[in-house]
């Protein structure tokens, strides 16, 4: 398929004020999306994270959709997955989120959900892009849409989150440190946990429009790792700026990443008989996860990098649990898309139901050492197309046998080939990675 000009793996994203992240583009994008998805008028929900530029893009998108004849429901600052949930609850045809996820505040992005809370397909994104060269449309005055701000959006999402744990289960006695990344989950996260009975200490829950993801959240969990043991908490939870990623910290201050969370959820569902289909990770998921699940007779599949591809594989294979090492976690028997808070609630439920601390729940999975080298290349290339690289990878895999794994990926955003090697022996995988990186550099340049 041809490459898309604006849409990446998760909507449109960039530096605010530079193409495409301008107010003018946002209005044209809304108009293009309306022509493709609500050509006869309809209902659109718009949410955002806490970036200062969110006000500008919210207004531009509102204008584009209303001018195209669509009614707009403004949800305010809410996690990305909350907007997917509320799009369904309000009977909307389309959900829009203004966020650049884990990026700094100078960036922003726009992403879409359909009326069922699922991300748009590649074909729909191509169709929207094909309409972007046209100016923003304005329908006849009698057909213009209107905009309404929904003041109950946050409490509605909190109530939904509470329904994802077993009826009657509370988190009484569990002490949680919650890191909201100064982002979209800064209110709904702590309030949902408190409503379920947890004792909560917050960090990263004082957004000012410029501090989203700054020294906090799932991509920078050092403060959380120090805080949890310092205050004697049982667990730490860190979302990213838009709330679709989560990592956790055990009672000892050790980081529990997406692979380990996936292992805990999968084994708990397997033990209760509720696991359906295979567990889905990505090509970058740690080999230790695959082996730990195999030892428990749990099927495992790998998808391409990106939570949308994890979701596609889950649906194709009939699975319900999938995710990425970064903490994009999907629990399809609870919600329709990746949701950091809902994943954390499921983990807390396992802790409460089993009486087992998070450190012991994660101990059943051994994380294998992993080495990643980035090889700069003069031009973008597919490493699989080089005979020299294919031979080097084949020989290296024979050396590692079933105790190691190799992944070569071309970056989607820069001229870099990522060489990843993991296995049981750190010295061996480091040597293999260096050899492969040298072959890639010779073949590419």
Catalytic residues: 101
Structure tokens at 338: 């990746």
CA 6-181-345 angle, 5° bins:
100
Residues whose CB falls within 8 Å of the CB of residue 166, separated by 6 or more in sequence, listed in order: 349, 353
Quick one: CA dihedral 70, 12, 408, 123, positive or negative? positive
Q: What is the residue whose two structure tokens read 């790792």?
A: 225
């Amino acid at each position: 398929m041809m490459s898309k000009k604006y849409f990446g793996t998760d909507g449109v994203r960039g530096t605010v004020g530079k193409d495409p992240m301008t107010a003018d583009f946002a209005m044209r994008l809304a108009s293009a999306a309306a022509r493709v998805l609500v050509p006869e008028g309809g209902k659109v929900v718009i949410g955002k994270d806490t970036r200062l530029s969110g006000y500008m893009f919210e207004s531009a998108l509102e204008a584009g959709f209303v001018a195209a004849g669509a009614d707009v429901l403004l949800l305010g600052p809410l996690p990305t997955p909350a907007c997917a949930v509320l799009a369904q609850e309000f009977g909307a045809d389309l959900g829009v989120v203004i966020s650049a996820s884990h990026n700094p505040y100078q960036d922003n992005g726009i992403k879409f959900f359909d009326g069922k809370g699922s991300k748009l397909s590649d074909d729909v994104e191509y169709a929207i892009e094909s309409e972007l060269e046209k100016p923003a449309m304005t329908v006849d005055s009698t057909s213009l849409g209107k905009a309404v701000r929904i003041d109950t959006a946050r409490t509605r999402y909190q109530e939904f989150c509470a329904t994802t744990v077993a009826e009657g289960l509370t988190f009484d006695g569990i002490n949680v440190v919650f890191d909201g990344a100064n982002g979209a989950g800064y209110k709904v996260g702590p309030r949902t946990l408190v409503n379920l009975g947890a004792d909560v200490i917050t960090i990263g829950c004082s957004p000012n429009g410029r501090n989203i993801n700054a020294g906090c959240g799932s991509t920078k969990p050092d403060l959380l790792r120090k805080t949890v043991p310092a205050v004697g908490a049982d667990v730490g939870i860190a979302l990213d700026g838009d709330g679709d990623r989560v990592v956790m910290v055990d009672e000892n201050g050790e980081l529990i990443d997406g692979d380990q969370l996936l292992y805990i959820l999968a084994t708990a569902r397997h033990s209760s008989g509720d696991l359906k289909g295979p567990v889905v990770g990505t090509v970058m998921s740690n080999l230790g996860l695959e082996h730990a699940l195999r030892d428990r007779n749990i099927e495992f599949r790998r998808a391409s990098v990106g939570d949308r591809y994890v979701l596609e594989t889950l649906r194709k294979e009939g699975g319900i649990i999938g995710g990425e090492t970064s903490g994009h976690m999907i629990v399809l028997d609870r919600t329709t898309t990746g949701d950091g808070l809902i994943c954390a609630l499921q983990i807390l439920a396992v802790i409460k139901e089993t009486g087992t601390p998070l450190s012991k729940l994660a101990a059943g999975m051994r994380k294998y050492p992993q080495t990643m080298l980035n090889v700069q290349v003069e031009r973008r290339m597919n490493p699989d197309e080089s005979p020299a690289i294919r031979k080097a990878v084949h020989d290296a895999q024979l050396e590692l046998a079933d105790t190691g794994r190799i992944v070569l990926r071309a970056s989607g955003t820069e001229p870099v080939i990522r060489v990843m090697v993991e296995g049981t022996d750190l010295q061996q995988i480091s040597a293999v990675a260096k050899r492969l990186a040298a072959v890639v550099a010779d073949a590419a340049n």
